[in-house]
Structure 1
Amino acid sequence: MRTTAPRRSVRRTVAGAGVAVAVLAAAVTGCDSGEPASGGERGPRAAAPRWNTAPTSVAAVGDSITRGFDACSVLADCPEVSWATGGDPAVRSLAARLLGEAEVPAHSWNYAVTGARMADLAGQLTAAAQHKPGLVTVMVGSNDACRPTVSSMTSVADFRAAFERALGQLRAASPASQVYVSSVPDLQRLWEQGKDAPMVRQVWKLGICQSMLADPLSGAEAATARREKVRARVVEYNEVLREVCAKDELCRYDGGAVFQYPFSSEQLSRWDWFHPGRDGQARLAELAHRQVTAAQPPR
């Protein structure tokens, strides 16, 4: 006598195989529909993007520091000594340390502009995104605090909105680019380094960061309060940089490394004692390289 399996068992077997195939496909692709699985739990999510400690191209955006202003000659840019993308062997820029000096000219780009503020960042990032760089360095904010008066400093709310907008535009144009964000330097510490030199005070009168550097020797209550307000605003800017960057899986804030770095007079420009000189640029490159190549972001 020929026997046949009950139809119900056959259907059950086929259905079970279908479920197994579906589960296997989901595991291989890492797909997550976002819908809750049985029991009210979500299925497995795709792994978050991993930080690449060896990017193969670098684009830089920001202000005069990244342009190497006053590092080579008075009141002039000197991008060849830029901490981010310069080719000067004495500096060993971040790009040189990551890519090798021979690769810097072809695989790095400097879109920083002397005098730029956070509101200018979106345009710079749009230009940088055309190259689909492996890494974008951001150092901006000093000019938002360095204004003719304390009252004309960029508000924290506007600073945040501009940074969020700029980072969002970069993500839309170049989703895979990593972003290294430097903290804003401690402007009060830079004032302390140069205030006692007569020649430096004369240069500062030309209009450099008057919110901090005006009346550099004054110990009056108003002058002291003015400098403290500028420093407090820089601290607030850095908190914005940290918070906004933390929301992006491919953004790494330096943990305040640049703000905390104790720049000495030997590391500052010999023309204005405010911007980093060659040695200061080299220290910035060293700090950035340490952060970019670390397995984990700074805490």
Structure 2
Amino acid sequence: MRKRSHRLRAVHAVTAAAVLAVAGCDAAGAGVSGDREAGAGAAPSASPTPLWDTHPDSVAAVGDSITRGFDACMVLTDCPEVSWATGSDAGVDSLAVRLLGVTGAAQRSWNEAVTGSRMADLRGQMTQAVLHRPELVTVMAGANDACRDSTGQMTSVADFRRQFQSAMDALRQALPKTEVYVSSVPNLKRLWSEGRTNALGKQVWKLGICPSMLGDADALDPAATRRRETVQARVVEYNKVLAEVCAKDRRCRFDKNAVFDYEFDTKQLSHWDWFHPSRNGQARLAEIAYRTVTARNP
């Protein structure tokens, strides 16, 4: 009997520990079954705050000339008022205007992008962006990493990954809860195939616009074809890196290659250089960004 009594006390002790453990889990928010079983009319627990707010209250943009609206209004000139991310132009209807309204966008959006920048410059821009303490940061960078004088000068995939991760780390160290929208790098090969149909555009390209892809625009020999395929493959790899780094962050959304896959034509290209987005192109970028940011289940 004594041994049996000891065994019963041991069983009771284990059972009591299990009950306390379950109660502890409920207290931590893992469940409310204990409250329901008590039947004391306890109020239901509040719904957890979602990780992604589909309507953030402020926006900062980082990136390159596309986000600066370069060549969309005047030749060789930034035109941030038509930026897809933070611009005020009614025809573009930027992401910031769609989210915050015209007045809100004027007061609570900031454009820290820099024309000509590459992924290596993104951390510095991110450091500037966090000073505004935005609830959303938009990222569009990578085209200039592929658009070099030669394919050999393109940023390596490993460096691209390290640089993007470094920029994300800079943001997270300062603002752990800020959301991030990441745009894919545009399809440079489609840009070549669309723009080369315009004689003026090809002449402008000869001034040195994205030589790795757009140089010798009419050349279709094996070397030219191989050069363009090399650039295209690198852009695909860049987009894979953007997706993978973003996927590790619960408050980051990649556009799932929506910008890369968009079948733009010459209406979406600047008629100053047939490379950067026109007002029409900036508006299409804003649409894609807004759909991604406001989707309940991206």
Task: Specify the TM-score bucket, using the shorter chain as the normaliser.
Answer: 0.7 to 0.9
1:74 matched to 2:81? The reply is no
Using the TM superposition, give the Cα deviation of residue 154 of structure 1 relative to its aligned residue in structure 2, in angstroms.
0.2
> Where does residue 198 of structure 2 map in the other structure?
197
Using the TM superposition, give the Cα deviation of residue 198 of structure 1 relative to its aligned residue in structure 2, in angstroms.
2.2
Distance 2:73 2:118 in 1: 23
Deviations 1:212-259 (A, max 9, x none): 010001111101110010000000000000001000000000000000
Match for 1:52: what amino acid? D
> Where does residue 266 of structure 1 map in the other structure?
267
> Where does residue 34 of structure 1 map in the other structure?
none
Aligned-residue CA RMSD in angstroms?
2.1
1:94 matched to 2:88? The reply is no
Deviations 1:5-58 (A, max 9, x none): xxxx9xx99xx69x75x8656534449xxxxxxxxxxxxxxx795211010000
When you count helix as a share of all residues, which structure comes out higher? 2
Using the TM superposition, give the Cα deviation of residue 193 of structure 1 relative to its aligned residue in structure 2, in angstroms.
1.2
Q: Is the Cα contact below 8 Å between 1:145 and 1:154 reproduced in 2?
A: yes
Local SS of the residue matching 2:65? coil
The count of aligned residue pairs is 270
Distance 2:164 2:142 in 1: 10
The verdict on how the C-alpha distance between 1:150 and 1:175 changes in structure 2, with shifts beyond 3 A counting, is same
> Where does residue 158 of structure 2 map in the other structure?
157
Distance 2:79 2:23 in 1: 57
The verdict on how the C-alpha distance between 1:48 and 1:117 changes in structure 2, with shifts beyond 3 A counting, is farther
Distance 2:292 2:239 in 1: 16
Local SS of the residue matching 2:110? strand
Distance 2:133 2:179 in 1: 10
Distance 2:297 2:283 in 1: 23
Distance 1:28 1:271 in 2: 63
Q: Is the Cα contact below 8 Å between 1:196 and 1:217 reproduced in 2?
A: no
Distance 2:149 2:50 in 1: 42
Match for 2:193: what amino acid? E
Match for 1:126: what amino acid? T
Mapping 1:217-296, distance limit 5 Å = 217-296=218-297
Local SS of the residue matching 2:162? helix
Where does the alignment leave 5 or more consecutive residues of structure 2 unmatched?
Answer: 1-8, 31-47
Hey, which bits of structure 1, 4+ residues long, moved more than 3 A? Answer: 22-31
TM-score using structure 1 length: 0.85
Distance 1:212 1:248 in 2: 32
Among the aligned pairs, what percent are the same residue? 62
Local SS of the residue matching 1:183? coil
Deviations 1:114-168 (A, max 9, x none): 1110101101111111122111000000000000100000000000010111101
Where does the alignment leave 5 or more consecutive residues of structure 1 unmatched?
Answer: 1-8, 32-46
* 81-90 vs 190-199, which moves further: 190-199
The verdict on how the C-alpha distance between 1:278 and 1:222 changes in structure 2, with shifts beyond 3 A counting, is same
Mapping 1:90-239, distance limit 5 Å = 90-239=91-240
The verdict on how the C-alpha distance between 1:48 and 1:245 changes in structure 2, with shifts beyond 3 A counting, is farther
Q: Is the Cα contact below 8 Å between 1:211 and 1:226 reproduced in 2?
A: yes
> Where does residue 45 of structure 2 map in the other structure?
none
* 194-203 vs 138-147, which moves further: 194-203
Q: Is the Cα contact below 8 Å between 1:63 and 1:140 reproduced in 2?
A: yes
Distance 1:24 1:99 in 2: 43
